[in-house]
Structure 1
Amino acid sequence: MAESIAEMEAGSSKGLQTAKDLFSGAAGGIAQVLIGQPFDIVKVRLQTSNAYPSALSAASSILKNEGALAFYKGTLTPLLGIGACVSIQFGAFGFAKRYLENLNTSRSLPTTLSYSQYYAAGAFAGVANSVISGPIEHVRIRLQTQPHDPTRRLYNGPWDCVRKLVKQGGVSHGLYRGEAVTIIREAQAYGVWFLTFEWLMNADAARNKIDRKEVPSWKVAFYGGLAGEALWLASYPFDVVKSKMQTDGFGADQKYKNMRDCFRQVYRGSGVMGFWRGLGPTLLRAMPVSAGTFAVVEMTMRAIN
């Protein structure tokens, strides 16, 4: 009976911690969208068009021709969706981390995870997240790249975009176009993201002989920003291919048969540098966005604990 009660209490404690991870992640996701959306639309325009010679040119053109609010074009979808995505990322990472800690304990190994285990937990979080991040980013990219002229506009908002994508290509080839490369990108990106942040936080705590929760908030933000830079440097070519596939046409207008064909065509057309187009504004965006995400998540977690 005592063992049964103990198991119930342990299960309740794990469930409560997962709920805290999800809530903190959602708060971080909202911060991520509000900080990063203007940078993201510039990145997508550079990835999917040759009309702009630089990030500054793209930003100036958007401001001049479409107005300041255009930098938040398609924001409703990520504001609702990215909050859920980041919530899943941190919830799945926390779940995987606790699972691996228990696995280490059962094998009489140190409870603290190795850095390969941190990467594995982050990759698991990325794959779990890709189920909803794939279609959310697809819809956002379609809205960001459609003509600004109302008479030539393709979609009247996110739900109209979802409906038309499903109608044109079904769920798998329409809404979930580019999902294979999205899964690869998410696994690599979030494996590196969480690994980098945990390494920096643990190293700081060990160096200064303090508990992790005593690391100052400005350092949390700084380490989060560095993790964001590492994320994009480790995964950017996959993101370029994903963006190209998710702005591709349908039927006779479709240029890329699949992920492999898209990689091949990008390489043939632009060489290796074609996989890094738009990296500048992406890295510029990554520091404040990732810093804000980790800072909000960490401070929210400390507050609710």
Structure 2
Amino acid sequence: MSAVEAEWDIVAHGPVTEHSKADVAKDVFAGTMGGFAQVLSGQPFDTTKVRLQSAPEGTYSGAMDVVRKLVKNEGFKGFYKGTMTPLVGVGACVSVQFAVNEGMKRYFGGKNKLAGVSDITYGQLYVSGACAGFANAFLASPIEQIRIRLQTQTGTGTGPTFRGPIDCIKQIWQAGGMGGIFRGFVPTIIRESHGMAMYFMAAEACVKQDMKQNKIARTEVPSWKLCMYGGVAGITMWLSVYPIDVIKSKMQTDALSPAQYTYKNMRACFQATVKNGYGQLFKGFAPTLLRAFPVNACTFLAFEVTRRYLS
């Protein structure tokens, strides 16, 4: 086996050992750093996207209209409404994503080694990412609802509905209980499972090809290329899941009380959304794609560099 093949061959650790515990801890910490990078670089884009997705028809003419009105009415700080929740929450989410993905890669690497196969297949990479997304959905669903409800407060009229993340959680719980907290969970788990599968498969495929083509170890892949691969992975993810994200956002900005829901379930939300054309499923798509490359470039780079430093 060549040095490059050995680098790509991820050996499973078998029973839990101090070494495997250390690997998991390193993955979690590196993922947290990736999450922080993701939030700080992407919050303005995300606020613009969410407002386009969830606003009533005719509120905004496009992404630039959102930006103009937001700056005029709320100032630049309006782009970072609800940042503390995603900074903590997304840090946790991304750490789960990367830790589960890395753990699954080690699992498949160990199985493949026993079978005499030195490489991880693209199918296994997809399953690894899907497991990461599935696990993350349980965190992402309530965290994203809180962030979205805070982001969509305009600060005009009678003032904000929520005084902050804690107040938002209290009001959601009082109105709808656990069901309210996990509003939009079904579209979230669909988006996360398939989206993360596509994300990690694309990123790892790029890294794998670079290593084999240039006969280098993973730690020798240049930082600028890691940025490129993360950006490509981010775009790949959003191209594959954007419509379901629109449905999720609309459900999570619905009324707090179940009795007042506009959308009783995901199917009802989909039917109401496409009533005015299937183009409604792509509202906010432009700022999302603009955001996808730089944000995921920062995320993937932060994870890889941190992981290398901890090795």
Q: What TM-score results when the alignment is normalised by the length of structure 1?
A: 0.94
Question: Is 1:186 aligned with 2:192?
Answer: yes
Cα RMSD of the aligned pairs, angstroms, is: 1.5
The 5 Å alignment of 1:1-305 reads 11-49=17-55, 50=57, 51-106=59-114, 108-149=115-156, 151-172=158-179, 174-249=180-255, 250-269=257-276, 271-305=277-311
Give 1:260 shift.
Answer: 1.2
Which consecutive residues of structure 2, in runs of 5 or more, have no partner in the other structure?
A: 1-12
Give 1:105 shift.
Answer: 2.8
For 2:165 and 2:118, how far apart are their aligned partners in 1?
A: 45
Give 1:65 shift.
Answer: 1.0
Does the CA contact (< 8 Å) of 2:73 and 2:156 recur in 1? no
For 2:207 and 2:246, how far apart are their aligned partners in 1?
A: 30
Give 1:266 shift.
Answer: 1.1
Give 1:9 shift.
Answer: 8.7
Give 1:109 shift.
Answer: 4.3
For 2:136 and 2:116, how far apart are their aligned partners in 1?
A: 29
What does residue 4 of structure 2 align with? Answer: none
Does the CA contact (< 8 Å) of 1:147 and 1:154 recur in 2? no
Does the CA contact (< 8 Å) of 2:93 and 2:139 recur in 1? yes
For 2:213 and 2:14, how far apart are their aligned partners in 1?
A: 38
Higher helix share: 1
Does the CA contact (< 8 Å) of 2:46 and 2:291 recur in 1? yes
* Secondary structure of 2:17 counterpart: helix
* Secondary structure of 1:151 counterpart: coil
For 2:65 and 2:154, how far apart are their aligned partners in 1?
A: 17
Structure 1 segments of 4 or more deviating over 4 A? 7-10
For 1:221 and 1:75, how far apart are their aligned partners in 2?
A: 23
* Secondary structure of 1:152 counterpart: coil
Equivalent pairs: percent with the same residue? 46
Which consecutive residues of structure 1, in runs of 5 or more, have no partner in the other structure?
A: 1-6
* Secondary structure of 2:130 counterpart: helix
Worse-superposed segment, 235-244 or 204-213: 204-213
For 1:216 and 1:80, how far apart are their aligned partners in 2?
A: 29
- The letter of the residue matching 2:222 is P
Q: What TM-score results when the alignment is normalised by the length of structure 2?
A: 0.92
